[in-house]
Amino acid sequence: MKPPPFAYARAESLEHALALLDEAGEDAKVLAGGQSLVPLLAYRLARPTHLVDIGRLPGLDTLRADDTGLVVGALVRHHELERSAVLSGPWQVLREAAALIGHHPIRIRGTLGGSLAHADPAAELPVAATALDASVTVRSSGGERAIPAAEFFAGPFMTVLEPEEIVVDLRCPAPPAGLRSAFAEFSPRAGDFAFVSVAVAVALDDGGRVTHARVVLGCVAARPLRAGEAEDALLGSALTEQDIDAAARAAAAGCDPADGPHASATFRRELVAVLVGRTLRRLREDHP
């Protein structure tokens, strides 16, 4: 199929892109890698009157970690996340999530900012970002604001991003001491959309007890879902088999996935328990 007609403009700078969005109004769309937007255009599921291309803007491809935390620019490609040595230890969940996005050509094209702005309930990176207590930096001609990832996603393919705003980067705060993170998902075939995804981040003290816990589920709700009861079950625990089983059961009990043509709600809950347990065991084994 062919997309509907639209006016195309390639931005030369971030300021230029913001000015173009202001001029075009609410019917404009931002194009970065095009991994999600281009198919929507082809099927006429998106009908923008203007397309603002930011794919070659300088300064939005930062990927760095220091004592203050992690910064990942909006134009960092999925394959760069997948291969980055920066994303180890506390940030490992981002690398593991990126490695499971579609197939290699998709990871070559897709960008972090595009994935966040698209807000697909089955996407991996929003789940991982939420597990790291990350914030999404967005900018408009009127200024800049940081939106917690837990508040950024408003529903299926919906965010709190205003039409005149552009995602600039993802920022993760300095991690608690001893933080480790991991990602897992189940899909019928490699590259397919997952039935369930799980991002877990836990910090253990010198005695091996959990001092910080984040368990976030994907594909079971309209947006990434924090499994609060599972997190509560983990805090103060020594990650024994009993502790892990209790957290896994709590995560499954606390979600309400929909029945689908390929996976029932009951099956998805069982997957949640299995994946949460499996991921916690892996993190326990990685603890020095």
CB 229 within 8 A of CB 246: no
Q: What is the pLDDT of residue 287?
A: 67
Beta-carbon contacts of 216 under 8 Å, excluding residues fewer than 6 positions away, are 127, 128, 130, 131, 198, 199, 200, 224, 225, 226, 227
**pLDDT at residue 92 greater than cutoff 90:** yes
Q: Which residues contact 187 (CB under 8 A, 6 or more apart)?
A: 193, 194, 195
Q: What is the pLDDT of residue 5?
A: 86
Highest mean pLDDT among 41-45, 48-52, 186-190, 247-251 belongs to: 247-251
Taking the domains of the chain in order of start, what are their residue ranges?
Answer: 7-53, 63-173, 179-286
- Kindly report the CATH class assigned to 63-173: alpha beta
The pLDDT confidence band at residue 25, using thresholds 50, 70 and 90, is confident
Q: What's the confidence (pLDDT) of residue 101?
A: 97
CA angle, residues 262, 266, 271, in degrees to nearest 5: 80
Per-residue pLDDT, averaged over 130-152, amounts to 98
Q: Each residue of 153-162: pLDDT tens digit?
A: 999 999 999 9
Contact (CB, 8 A) for 266 and 187 = no
- CATH 3.30.420.40 applies to domain 179-286: no
Task: Give mean pLDDT, residues 108-118.
Answer: 96
Alpha carbons 198 and 278: distance in angstroms, whole number: 10
Neighbouring C-beta atoms of residue 258, cutoff 10 Å: 12
Q: Which residues fall within 8 angstroms of residue 77, CB to CB, at 6 or more apart?
A: 33, 107, 108, 109, 110, 111, 112
Supply the pLDDT for residue 288.
Answer: 60
Phi/psi at 184 (nearest 5 deg)?
-150, 155
Secondary structure (3-state) at 269: helix
Q: pLDDT tens across 27-49, in order?
A: 899 999 988 888 888 878 889 99
Percent of the chain topping pLDDT 90: 86
Distance CA 43, CA 45 (A): 5
Mean pLDDT over each residue of the chain, to the nearest integer? 95
Fold of 7-53: 3.30.43
Domain 63-173 and domain 179-286 have a common topology: no
Q: Would the pLDDT of 258 be above 90?
A: yes
